[in-house]
Each structure stands twice: as structure tokens, then as C-alpha cells.
Structure 1
Amino acid sequence: MKHTTQLPDRRPVRDRTGAATVAAPPPARTTARRRPSSQQWAAWGFLAPVTLYLALFYAYPLYRNIDLSLRNYTVRSFVQGDAPFTGLQNYLTVFDDPTFAPALLHTVVFTVVSLVFQYAIGLALAVFFTQHFRLSATLRALFLVPWLLPLIVSASTWSWMLNSDSGIVNAALHAVGIGPVNWLTSPDWSLTSVILANVWIGVPFNLVVLYSGLQSIPASLYEAAALDGANAWQRFWRITFPLLRPVSAITLLLGLVYTLKVFDIIWIMTKGGPADSSTTFATWSYQLGFGNLLPAFGPGAAVGNLLVVAALVFGLVYMRVQRKQGLS
């Protein structure tokens, strides 16, 4: 069977004289541009406040901080805006500063130790509260108090508790025959003191997130494991911990970003001292920019940008790990 192609209609048309002519094909239709619908305008309307918020409170401050770190700003040039461009000189100044190495070490120790204890204690409490015993909801609500209190209140409370002369902690140690400890004024104990306070504040967040993750694990898995003879530790290690990995990853990432920028607790309790024994990048950045009579805005901004880069690197690593887990 032969297939024929249909050609455009070119039937002869006779004019007034009777001569036959072939009519031209009709012109091709042009499609008009579609105007945005009401739903598209509504979508842009909902997106505009978020975009404006991110631009004003994230993008512009980040741009200004990068600009501060690349120029030699003084108080006069900060007001007049005529600071000379110095490139990476402020970063070199920060790297050559003798405070850089101790501040880096304190930041790493403060972040890692806080994350480990916050996650471990939060996970233990989350598993404990899954038993649904009497007063379980009440106790969970009480554990949220440190998270709900303003940081200035929590830090001030810990400063009073750890006071060398009138603190309740030293009073308890004296009751059991242990001498007083200079928690906030000794270089050997100042970093430990701020870590204790930060762990106490961060445990409720880990408890809430991990407890929510535990609720999504089917109870049938535990029942099947119990029938197979698995004990409590084996059920936790083989079922609970692996299925909590996605929730644990986001919990640790958010805790990392928060802990890297902790400033209020350290500044209220020790101000980074004594002798820079509890100085981290967050407190050092503040000291450089606002803690001296002659502020060093450029180096202070450079230290702040190092914290931003560290948080960004860990965020990218988390996204890459999540993508690999999704593909697998």
C-alpha cells in the first residue's frame, strides 16, 4: 500500500476574465506570547518576601563582610567609605597572629567535644523516653527548659554556679571533701567550663530531633528482632542506630553550624580568658573588631569569614554524602 503525502490545497481560482490562477497558501499562524497566569503571579508574590529577606539579611551582610576583609578599614574610613584595597593582607595578618593557633585549637575542641556529648546524651534520653512511662511527657517538657531560656540567662546562671567563691558547684565539691576549683579564672578549666554550659544548652535540641526520628521507626522491627533473640543492645545497634542515620546527620550538621558561631556563652562566662585560654574564632573576631580602642575591622572580618567557609565546607560535605546515599 502506497502512502501519499497530502500537499497544501492549490485549487485553481478563476478571475473575472476566466483565466485560471493558483491561489497562494494561507499564511502561517503565529502564536502570541502567553501572559503569566494568576497562579504564576501568586507564586512570585510568595517568593518575593523570602528573596528580599535573604538578600537583605544574608547576601548583603556577607558581601559587606568580604569587602571588610579585603580592605584596610579604620574608624574614619569605615564612616567615609574610602578604605584602600589590600587584597589578602588581612588574612595573612590573621594567620601570622600568635592567637591564631590557640584560637583554632580551642574552636575545634569546643566544637567536637560539645557535639559528641550533646548527641550522645540527647540520643540516650531520646531512647529512654521512647518507653512511654508515666510522667514521660512532663519530663520531656522540663528538659526543654535550657533550650527555651535566653542565652544570656543560661550563661549568667552557669557563671554564678561555677563561681570560685560562692558557686554551688564548689560548695558541692567541698561537701564531699574536694577543694575549690577556679572554673572561670584558671586557664586549665575555663574551656571546660564553657563546654559544660554549651552541652547543657544543646542537649534539648538533640533530644527533640532524635526522639522524633525514633517515632518513625516501625515497632514491628523490634518485635521481630526480639523473637530472633536479640537483646536491647543488639536491637539498638542493628536497628535504631542505622535507621537514625539521616536524622543524626542533619542533627550533627545543625549542631556543628551552631557551635562554630557560639559567642554569647563564652563571652559572658570568660570573655575568652584568662590569657586567651577559652578564645575561639567567634570571640576573637569580636575582640578584633570591637574589643579594642583601635579596632581592626579587616582582620576581624577575615576571622569571621573563616568560620563561614568552615560551615560551608561541612554543609557541602553533608549534601554530597546525602546524594550518594540517595543514589545507592
Structure 2
Amino acid sequence: MTVAVDTETAPPRQQRPQGRRTGPLARLRRGSRKHWYAYVMIAPVVIVLGVLVAYPLARGFYLTLTDATSLNSARTIGVNHIDPTYEFIGLHNYADILWGPTAYERFWSHFLWTVGWTVACVALHYCIGLGLALLLNQKLRGRVVYRMLLILPWAVPAFVTVFSWRIMLADGGLINTLLGHLRLPQPAWLEDTAWQRVAAILVNTWCGVPFMMVSLLGGLQSIDANLYEAAEMDGASAWQRFRHVTLPGLRPVSATVVLLGVIWTFNQFAIIFLLFGGTSAPDAQILVTWAYRLGFGQQPRDFAQSATYGVLLLSILVVFTTFYRRWLNRSEQSTL
């Protein structure tokens, strides 16, 4: 049995052009010819990132595989140039830092303090910032003035803020003087290890709350007011409206600011360094300031160990960010 096909009405069969390649390299070549102006526009950014980020990162990773110090690195003394004499030692630096005989004193104790410092600071940033954002989101007289005053700690340069707190936390500073007038104990904020850590959290909280407040305030203002009206009409209490309307509405903003807060606090070099210096308060040093101390605050300067700390810091943050994003995606899918 034969079926007649009307060749005049049948759609033409699409045929792949002969001799045209469809591989990834061919598509990239065609795209570069078609959108050459886009590649020209992003080329300066790629070059700058390569020079400022990619090369130092690659160079730092290479140093972690050597025993480079200030004694065996290339240096110039007067008119004499001394070539480097450090050697390739593989993963010895990583093994020594993580599992060496003094691994706890050199790495794990600072790692635990860095994690505790990060959790405490970010939790205080978020809770205080959310409380202030809820307050400023109300119709208050002088709300603009309050907002400007609360943003002021964020606008002041970090070194000015930290030095001001350092003066106030000194033995004869303002804080201990007030505590003395109130017949309260006067802690050694800058000498005792426990109080050094409390002081570091206090100063970093003062510096970080304004950013969290502004971000969460923007999130609060983006929540539809009709949701609150509907919840109130259904008899929801203030706590129920906060739990079931405010917090879910702030979830996208909260996820972003918490992630940024963790990354910034984990690598917060300025607060610790300016408050205690690079060589004092060894038990209050976080990982990033301890890496600086190894590379620049002692003699001989251990460039390899310092670079290894930097790579470990980057690895920790990459792993945390990956699991954090996956957890957020699962939470969002479970609520749908």
C-alpha cells in the first residue's frame, strides 16, 4: 500500500548545513566573531582580576609547597642580589599545620576561636540589626535622625573606631572609669585572654550592626503590607505575624547578609590587628591575623606557613559557602 504525499504542502525537511561544525570550540569561535565587542569590554576586567587575584593566588599556592622563609627567598642587599634557595617539599606544610606535634596550639585553637568569634559576631549583628530595623520601620518621630545616628559607626573609618574603643577599654579608660563609679569590677580588657575576646566581639559588633540593620530594613520595606493586614484580620498575634510573615519575607535578604557576614567576620583582619597589634594577645588572634603574624610579624618570616594558612582559610570558606547554599536550596524546596 502506498501513501501519496503532497510535496507542495508538506513542510520542508530541515537539513544541517554541510561543512558547518557544531563543537564547543566552533561555537566559541562563532560567538567571538559575532560578539567581539563584548569580549573587548570585559577584557580589562579579566586582566585586572588576573593580575590582582589569580596570579597572587597561584603564587601563594606554590609557596605552600615549599619551605620559603625570609632567609632563603630572593632578596637584594645593597647592590647584591641573592637568588632563592628554598626547596619543594610537597604537602608537608599542610600536614605539619593540621596534624603536627603542635597543631592544636598553632592551628586548631585559633580555628576554634575564629569559629566562635564568627558565630557570636554574626548572631549579634543579625539580632541587634533586626531589632533596630523593626524599630526604624515603624512610624516614629525623628526616624531619619535615628537612622543617620545608627549608620554613623559604619560610616566612620575602621581604624578610627577601633582606636577609639582601644582608648576607652584601657585600664584608665572611660569604660573602666564608669564601672569603677558604679562599684563594679574593672576587667583587664586588653590584657586578659577571656576579656580580650569579649572586647574583640564587642568592637566588631559595634562596627557590623549598621550594615545588617540597613540591609534588613530594606527587606522589611519590601514585604507586602497586605500580608500583615490579612494576618491581623485572621486574628494573628504580633509574634505570629513576625514568625509567619516577617521572617519568611526576610529570608532572601537574611540568607545573603548572613553569608556576607560570615565571610567578612571570618576574615576580619582590621579589628583584631588594630585592637591588639600583630604580636600581642596570641590567644585572641584569629586565623587571618595569625597568618599575618607568621609571614610578617616574626623573624624569620615564614612565607610558606603563612601562605598555607591563607589557602586553608579559602578552602574553609569555599566548603562552608557550598554547604550553606545547598542547605538554603533544600529549605526553599521544602517550603514550596
Say if 2:188 is the partner of 1:172: no
Residue 188 of structure 1 and its aligned partner are, at CA, apart by: 2.3
- Letter of the aligned partner of 1:212 in structure 2? G
Please list, as runs of the form range in 1=range in 2, the aligned pairs for 1:284-295 lying within 5 A after superposition. 284-295=290-301
> Aligned with 2:35: secondary structure?
helix
TM-score normalised to the size of structure 2?
0.83
Counterpart for residue 154 of structure 2: 147
Residue 322 of structure 1 and its aligned partner are, at CA, apart by: 4.3
**For the structure 1 residues 168 and 52, does the alpha-carbon distance in structure 2 shift closer, same or farther, using more than 3 Å as the test?**
same
Task: State how far apart, in whole Å, the 1-side matches of 2:234 and 2:288 are.
Answer: 51
Aligned pair partner of 1:60 in 52, 55, 61: 55
Counterpart for residue 19 of structure 1: none
Alignment check: 8 A CA contact 2:70 2:302 kept? no
Counterpart for residue 196 of structure 1: 202
**For the structure 1 residues 37 and 271, does the alpha-carbon distance in structure 2 shift closer, same or farther, using more than 3 Å as the test?**
closer
Residue 178 of structure 1 and its aligned partner are, at CA, apart by: 1.1
Between 264-273 and 175-184, the greater mean CA deviation after superposition: 264-273
Aligned pair partner of 2:114 in 107, 110, 113: 107
Counterpart for residue 73 of structure 2: 78
**For the structure 1 residues 218 and 77, does the alpha-carbon distance in structure 2 shift closer, same or farther, using more than 3 Å as the test?**
same
Residues 269-328 of structure 1, C-alpha deviations (whole Å, 9 max, x = no match)? 123675522021111101110111201111111111111111111221233234445655
Aligned pair partner of 2:241 in 216, 235, 240: 235
Task: State how far apart, in whole Å, the 2-side matches of 1:82 and 1:241 are.
Answer: 58
Give the % identical residues: 37
Residue 203 of structure 1 and its aligned partner are, at CA, apart by: 0.4
Alignment check: 8 A CA contact 2:32 2:39 kept? no
The alignment of Structure 1 onto Structure 2 pairs a total of residues equal to: 306
Alignment check: 8 A CA contact 1:289 1:297 kept? yes
Aligned pair partner of 2:318 in 312, 315, 323: 312
Alignment check: 8 A CA contact 2:279 2:297 kept? no
Aligned pair partner of 2:270 in 235, 260, 264: 264
Task: State how far apart, in whole Å, the 2-side matches of 1:200 and 1:245 are.
Answer: 24
Residue 78 of structure 1 and its aligned partner are, at CA, apart by: 2.7
Residue 209 of structure 1 and its aligned partner are, at CA, apart by: 1.0
Task: State how far apart, in whole Å, the 1-side matches of 2:197 and 2:222 are.
Answer: 37
Task: State how far apart, in whole Å, the 2-side matches of 1:215 and 1:170 are.
Answer: 40
Q: Return 5+ residue gaps in structure 2 as ranges.
A: 9-16, 75-82
Task: State how far apart, in whole Å, the 2-side matches of 1:108 and 1:322 are.
Answer: 20
Aligned pair partner of 1:163 in 150, 170, 175: 170
Residue 124 of structure 1 and its aligned partner are, at CA, apart by: 0.7
Say if 2:145 is the partner of 1:138: yes
> Aligned with 1:189: secondary structure?
helix
| Cα RMSD for the two superposed structures | 2.5
Residues 118-176 of structure 1, C-alpha deviations (whole Å, 9 max, x = no match)? 010011111111113222122112212211222211111110110112x1111111121
**Structure whose alpha-carbon radius of gyration is higher:** 1
- Letter of the aligned partner of 1:2 in structure 2? A
Counterpart for residue 20 of structure 1: none
Alignment check: 8 A CA contact 2:278 2:293 kept? no
Task: State how far apart, in whole Å, the 2-side matches of 1:321 and 1:50 are.
Answer: 32
Task: State how far apart, in whole Å, the 2-side matches of 1:4 and 1:180 are.
Answer: 99
